[in-house]
Every structure is written in structure tokens, then in C-alpha cells.
Structure 1
Amino acid sequence: MRAIQITEFGGPEVLEVSDVPEPAAADGQVLITVDRAGINYADTHQVENSYLSRTVLPLIPGGEVVGRTGDGRRVVALVGSGGYAERAVAHAPYVWEVPEGVSDGQALALVLQGTTAWHLLRTSTHLRSGESVLVHAGAGGVGSLAVQLAKLWGAGRVIAAASTDEKRKQVLELGADAAVDGTPDGLKDRILEANAGKPVDIVLEMVGGPAFDESFAALARFGRLVTFGAASRQAAAPIDASRLMKGSKTIAGFWLADCFREPALLGDPLAELFDLTANGTLRPIVGGEYPLSEAATAHADLRARRTVGKLVLDPTR
């Protein structure tokens, strides 16, 4: 079967189409004919071996797929790796049927990025009605959903950071109350200005480096910052414990993989997100579809911040 298989670590250039053996489902697993595979920013880290978990070569990237099972069910699944292929295998607890009213691209947007946004607001920061929320990469896969969910769940003011005028216009259309340039230089001041001069209660941060530092500096008393990525590939400055004590601030981390031992931590939020999407309340953004043969282009576009919403691969092309 056709798949993207990497045999060395590196950038987008290591992503090449190969002919590989078809996977076989063992007991407790499901074989899926892939209609579309999801692309996540974490995939770019996995390919260059800078991800949180160890990566072993050779590797077929891709942690999520939507497609058909042997008995004809339309499903979305988390597969860990192996998604950039014509067929993939998933463990049964991480396979969910896709309801009518939810497209393939939307299902892929929700299964990983949607559940991440759900947990960032519900589990990690415990959003309360009326609080202000800053969402980094507001036009991205997680960010575009987090903006909508924060408004839906009663945030008083949602501020989205985005890299271009076009993306800032888009996050405003999604419901953000304000949009700011996410460039680190002067970011704290732009955040405060967007929040009527006041620090923000919650920050969803996935850039790292100076953007993390500027965001923490804009955090209110009893504020919560959750970090769930490092897209800049830069480390934030160390924070002395006294800076947390003064202002009673919290820094949390979130990695969706920590939910995998308890499938309900994924399935329950996903069911809620499916319902919200099917009834039109939530609008997952599918920002681009690439042929499998152009996976390298997709990764290059993602790393260069040229994309919005969810990116997907078509394994038939």
C-alpha cells in the first residue's frame, strides 16, 4: 500500500511516498481503510525527533484517521502513528463512529485538536463564566475551536493571537472579541490593550520562548496559563517560584497523550463536540486538503504558519 514512511529524521524533505506492507489488525484492534488522515503540528516534531515521546525509525507519521471499517462503519480513530497511509490500525477503544452531520474533515478536527481545546478550558484552566481568555494561534486547529468553545462556555472576553491580518480577521469572525499580533515583541502590551488595560485570567499557550514569557507577564491575579506546545522551538525563560506566589498564578501543562489510559477522557468530550458540530453550534475549520504525495508541502506550510484550521491528507492521491 502507499504510505509516507520516513527512514531518517529531519524536516519536511524526509516525507516521501513509499510502498509498504499493509497492516494487520490483531485482537482488540480495528483495520481502517483511510479516507482522510489528519495532520497535526506535533507531527512536525515527531518527524524531526523533537517530540515528547521517543520516535523509532522507520516511521509512518500520522496520529488520526477517518475512514471505513471492514463492516462498513464510518469511523474516526486515534492511531498513534501510521495514519499517513491507505490503511491503518487502531485499538478498538480509540475508534468512534462519526455521526451524520459531521464531515470527514470536521471529525479529524475534533478527535485530537477538539478534545485538546475541550480539556484546556475544562480540565486545565477550569474556565469560569465572565473570565477573559487569551488563545495563541487562534486561527489554528486547536485555537479556532478554543475561541468558539470559550465563547460558548461563557468567557467574558476572548482575545486571539494570530500572525497575519487575514488570520486576525478570521478569528474575529469565529467569535473572538479582539485579535492581536502574536509576535513576541511588545505582546504583553497588546494583550493588555485588547483587554481594556487589564491582565487576562486564562492563557492557552503553545508557542513557547518569548511569547510564553510575554503571556505570563500579562496574567491576572489567580490567573492560569496552560502550555500545550512549543511551535517556536524555543524554551521560555525559567520562572522563579516567587513569581507564581505573587499574584497567586498557576502554570499548567497539557498533553493529550496523558488521557489515553482512560478512553472516556477522549470519548466523552468528543461526543459533546460531535453534537455541537452536528447542530451547527460549533464550526470546525478545515483549512486545507493535500494529496498524500504532497505531505512534505503540508508540513512546510504548517511550519511556516501559512495555514488555518485543520489540515488533512487524501491517501488516494
Structure 2
Amino acid sequence: MRAVGLTRTGGPEVLEVLDLPEPEAADALVIETAAAAVNPVDLATRSGLIPTSLPAVLGWDLAGTVAHAPAGSGFRTGDRVLAMTAQLGTGVGSMAEYVAFDPGFVAHVPDGMKLEQAAALPLAGVSVAEAAARGIAPRQDLTVLPFEDAAEAHRRLERGGFRGKLLLAP
């Protein structure tokens, strides 16, 4: 499977589309990723400001469909879901075609919501709640780029002035 990751830290040029084995199912929920958000924490991890074990798959947020659901998880194959993997704490990055993760950190995507929109929610949700509490209206602009353009996504965020949410899709 393809995944956006790094084997060394540095600028956007260190990002690679890696060829990795698909995750083992076992007791984990396996999600086929439709979109994974690019967040400032990914830039900090990539640049080495936040240490992480290498090689690493980047990303915290994703949305997609369930490819494998363990018994008792509350999910079924084909369910539309979103998740926050908290890559720094779990070692599980979201920028991969398939992500195996604890079903306790996964939620169903509401009917009528696009998966690309849902992928933008998990980590940014806290920021949106804080902004709403302060009377700031969140923007709903989405830009979706393919995995192969991960370095360009990082460059856009680093340049600043980018408004909206930036996503990568397989």
C-alpha cells in the first residue's frame, strides 16, 4: 500500500510516498482511507521540531470506509468513519491507503457528510470549538491533493496565509 512518510527529517523534500505492507487486521479496525488531513503538527514532525521514531507515516486525521471490523467493535465493513490516530503517541499515521487502529478512537461519519469534509474534523475540532467559543466563524474551504503532492501541501502550509483545510487523498 502507499503511504506518505519520511525516513529522515528536514524540509518538504524529505516526504516520500512509501510502499508498505497492508496492516494486519487482528483486533484492530482497518480503515481504507479516503482522505487524510495535513496539520501543522505534521510539519513540526517532518522538520524534526517534534521528535519521532523513523521511518514514520505522518498524519493524525482521516476518514474512509471500514475494510475490516473486529467482532464487538460496533462497526461493520463498509461503514463510513473518521478517526484521529494521534501519530506521536500511537506511532500510527493517517496518511496511508489503509490504517489499522483501535475502534475506540473511531466514529461514524454523519449521513450527508462527504468523507473529505469528515477527514478535516478530528484534530481541528478542538480549535473550531475554541474559535466558536470566541465568536470566530470557521472557514469551510477544502483543498484536496493526491499523496504524491504531500511535499507541495507542506510548502503551502509553511508559506503561511493558507486558509481552509488541506487534505491528501490516495
Q: State the TM-score bracket (shorter-chain normalisation).
A: 0.7 to 0.9
Partner of 1:109: 120
Is 1:89 equivalent to 2:100 in the alignment? yes
State the one-letter code of the partner of 2:82.
V
Is 1:32 equivalent to 2:31 in the alignment? yes
* Identity across matched positions, percent: 37
Whether the 8 Å CA contact 2:34–2:116 is kept in 1: the answer is no
Q: How much does 1:113 deviate?
A: 0.5
SS at match of 1:34: strand
Q: 1:213-262 CA deviation, whole Å, 9 max, x = no partner?
A: xxxxxxxxxxxxxxxxxxxxxxxxxxxxxxxxxxxxxxxxxxxxxxxxxx
Q: How much does 1:287 deviate?
A: 3.1
Aligned residues: 156
**Within 2, Cα distance between the matches of 1:284 and 1:91?**
30
Q: 1:78-123 CA deviation, whole Å, 9 max, x = no partner?
A: 12232111111221111000011322232222211012432xx3xx
Partner of 1:308: 163
Identify the structure with bigger relative contact order (alpha carbons < 8 Å, sequence gap 6+).
2
**Within 2, Cα distance between the matches of 1:2 and 1:117?**
30
Q: Structure 1 residue aligned with 2:141, among 269, 286, 295?
A: 286
State the one-letter code of the partner of 2:164.
G
Whether the 8 Å CA contact 1:36–1:66 is kept in 2: the answer is yes
Whether the 8 Å CA contact 2:61–2:120 is kept in 1: the answer is no
Q: How does 1:125-274 map to 2 (within 5 A)?
A: 146=131, 148-151=132-135, 174=137
Q: How much does 1:304 deviate?
A: 0.6
Bigger fraction of residues in strand: 2
Radius of gyration: which is bigger? 1
Whether the 8 Å CA contact 2:62–2:84 is kept in 1: the answer is yes
Whether the 8 Å CA contact 2:23–2:98 is kept in 1: the answer is yes
Partner of 2:44: 45
Q: How much does 1:55 deviate?
A: 0.3
Length-normalised TM-score, structure 1: 0.46
Choose 71-80 or 17-26, whichever is displaced more.
Answer: 17-26
Could you tell me which runs of 5 or more consecutive residues in structure 2 were left unpaired when the two chains were aligned: 68-76
What RMSD in Å do the two structures reach over aligned CA positions?
A: 1.8
SS at match of 1:21: coil
State the one-letter code of the partner of 1:102.
M
**Within 2, Cα distance between the matches of 1:91 and 1:284?**
30
Whether the 8 Å CA contact 2:62–2:120 is kept in 1: the answer is no
**Within 1, Cα distance between the matches of 2:145 and 2:122?**
19
Whether the 8 Å CA contact 1:109–1:284 is kept in 2: the answer is no
State the one-letter code of the partner of 2:63.
V
**Within 2, Cα distance between the matches of 1:84 and 1:107?**
15
Whether the 8 Å CA contact 1:41–1:302 is kept in 2: the answer is yes
Partner of 1:75: 81
Quickly say closer, same or farther: Cα 1:23–1:286, change in 2 above 3 A.
Answer: farther
Partner of 2:4: 4
**Within 2, Cα distance between the matches of 1:78 and 1:114?**
10
Length-normalised TM-score, structure 2: 0.83
Q: How much does 1:311 deviate?
A: 0.7
Could you tell me which runs of 5 or more consecutive residues in structure 1 were left unpaired when the two chains were aligned: 122-145, 152-157, 159-173, 175-282
Is 1:55 equivalent to 2:52 in the alignment? yes
Whether the 8 Å CA contact 1:37–1:314 is kept in 2: the answer is yes
State the one-letter code of the partner of 1:74.
R
Quickly say closer, same or farther: Cα 1:108–1:295, change in 2 above 3 A.
Answer: same
Bigger fraction of residues in helix: 1
